[in-house]
Amino acid sequence: MSIHLGDVAPDFEQETTIGRIRFHEWLGDSWGILFSHPKDFTPVCTTELGAVAKLAPEWAKRNTKVIGLSVDPVGSHTEWAADIADTQGATVNFPIIADADGKVAALYDMIHPAADPKVTVRTVFIIDPAKKVRLTLTYPPSAGRNFNEILRVLDSLQLTDHHKVTTPANWQEGDDVIIAPSVSDEQARALFPNGWKTLRPYLRLVAQPR
C-alpha cells in the first residue's frame, strides 16, 4: 500500500532490539521517526545509525522517538550495533525493528521491486502524536540521509502546528516565517501585533513566534 501525507501511520506488532512492540502504543503521545535501511552491515547505513544516535538530545528536546528497520533478525542488529559503536563512536540508543517477514515493509511500501525485490528501500517517515504521517522521503542507496534536514522539517512542523505560519525555503530555527495565506490582514494584526513585512499580498514575512 502507498502511504500518503495525512494518512494514519499503519500500526503493527513486531520484534525489535528492545523486545516485541506494538508501534502506536510504543509511540504514545510522542512524535516519531521511522526509517528503514536495506540490510545490516551496509556502509552508508552504518554512518546513518551513528548519526541518529548522536542526535539523541535533539530528538528528546522535540518529544520525538526514533526507530530503525531492516529485514534482518534481532541478533544481526545486535552484532551490527557493535560495529556502529566502534566505527561511529556512538551507541545505538533506539530500537531497530527486525522485519524478517516483511510485514512492516509491506505496510509502509518499503519494497520497490524495480530497485531490489528482497530488501527495503531507504525511507523516512515523520509521524505526529495523532499518528498521522507528516513527511515521507525515499533515498537512493548511494546517498546518506541528512538528519539535520529531518530535524529542520520536524521543527517546522511543530512550529506551524501551533502558529498560523509556514516556513520559507531553507528556513532555520529563528528565521522569519510566512503568515499563512488563510490568515487575513485583520486577523494577522491580532496574531502579530508587532507587525510584518509585506512583499506581496500573499507573501507576508514575520518574526518567528516563540
Q: Residue 185: its pLDDT value, please?
A: 97
pLDDT tens column, 144-154: 999 999 999 99
pLDDT tens column, 153-179: 999 999 999 999 999 999 999 999 999
Provide the annotated active-site residues.
45
If one compares 111 and 81, the residue with the highest pLDDT of the two is 81
Q: Residue 142: its pLDDT value, please?
A: 87
Mean pLDDT of the chain: 94
Q: Which sequence spans correspond to the domains of the chain?
A: 13-144, 163-206
Model confidence at 64: pLDDT above 90: yes
Q: Residue 121: its pLDDT value, please?
A: 76
Q: Residue 113: its pLDDT value, please?
A: 63
Q: How far apart are CA 79 and CA 98, in angstroms?
A: 13
Q: How far apart are CA 103 and CA 162, in angstroms?
A: 35
From the list 154, 184, 179, the residue with the least C-alpha distance to 168 is 179
pLDDT band at 30 (very low <50, low <70, confident <90, very high): very high
pLDDT band at 120 (very low <50, low <70, confident <90, very high): confident
Model confidence at 206: pLDDT above 80: yes
Q: Is the dihedral of CA 43, 66, 78, 97 positive or negative?
A: negative
C-alpha cell at 208: 518567528
Instruction: Indicate the fold that domain 163-206 takes in CATH.
Output: Antioxidant, Horf6; Chain A, domain 2 (3.30.1020)
Equal fold, 13-144 vs 163-206: no
Confidence (pTM) = 0.93
Instruction: Indicate the fold that domain 13-144 takes in CATH.
Output: Glutaredoxin (3.40.30)
